Structure 1
Amino acid sequence: MSDVERNGFISKVIGPKKRWWAYRARVKELPEGHRAAVEAIERCLMHFVPTDGDSNAAMFEDLADLFEQAAADGTSIRAIVGEDPVEFLGTFAQNYSEGGYVPARARKQLAEAIARVEEAEASAT
């Protein structure tokens, strides 16, 4: 794959690089538990077939918005994603992407990551 093809593919997956790095900077500023949850969701979202770079950039930016607001309000991760983080992921992603799927392994990893964040939040209080 040439650099041009690779950059075109990356742009489709994550959107324009400038928006991606701005999103990553926002995620980095989240409290530890919220950041860990966003990163787990992000890994799963990468399995969705991109429709276009702008839609995917908007999807990640909206994810950051959601978790920034939740962190500011003191909302727990479980209150954001509900009892089934995979269902949350599917509902969230279908607003932005046609097609795509989350492999069973990625669904399991997401559920485990959210459970670890929830345990860490519980032990911190």
Structure 2
Amino acid sequence: MGIQDIIQGKKQWRAHVARVQALPPDYQIVYKEIQRYLFKVGPIDLPDGHLLSGLVDFFEEGVAAGKGVLGLIGNDVAAFCDDLVKDSRTNADIYQESISGIPGTAEK
């Protein structure tokens, strides 16, 4: 990864953050909770994927349609997040494998 890649990545992230900040306050709160959840237990390919930008697209469509954020995702934010990553290998899966002693993982 060269310096140009790092600079380009920062520009993309700043543009993403600006899109989030343009959302209504209730959408921003829910987005930040989803982001926190995904960074903690989300898919291991989260930095490479387009999950967060797709989520902002989804929220922008909801705003344009005049819907409330909980009308889009439901009352259980964690369940919504789990549905987003249900077919992906997560950090939680890796941790569970490491403590269960599955062959091929590091032992303590």
Q: TM-score range by the shorter chain?
A: 0.5 to 0.7
Paired residue for 1:29? 22
Kindly tell me the number of residue pairs found equivalent between the two proteins: 85
Paired residue for 1:51? 45
Q: CA deviation at 1:52?
A: 5.9
Structure 1: gaps of 5 or more residues: 5-10, 102-125
Structure 2: gaps of 5 or more residues: 93-108
The TM-score, its normalising length taken from structure 1, stands at: 0.59
1:77 aligns with 2:69: yes
The TM-score, its normalising length taken from structure 2, stands at: 0.67
1:61 aligns with 2:53: yes
- Structure ranking higher on relative contact order (CA contacts 8 Å, 6+ apart): 1
- Superposed CA offset, 1:34-77 (max 9, x none): 1111111111111124226321xx11100110111111111112
Which of 92, 115, 118 is the aligned partner of 2:84?
92
| Structure with the larger helix share | 1
Q: CA RMSD in A?
A: 2.2
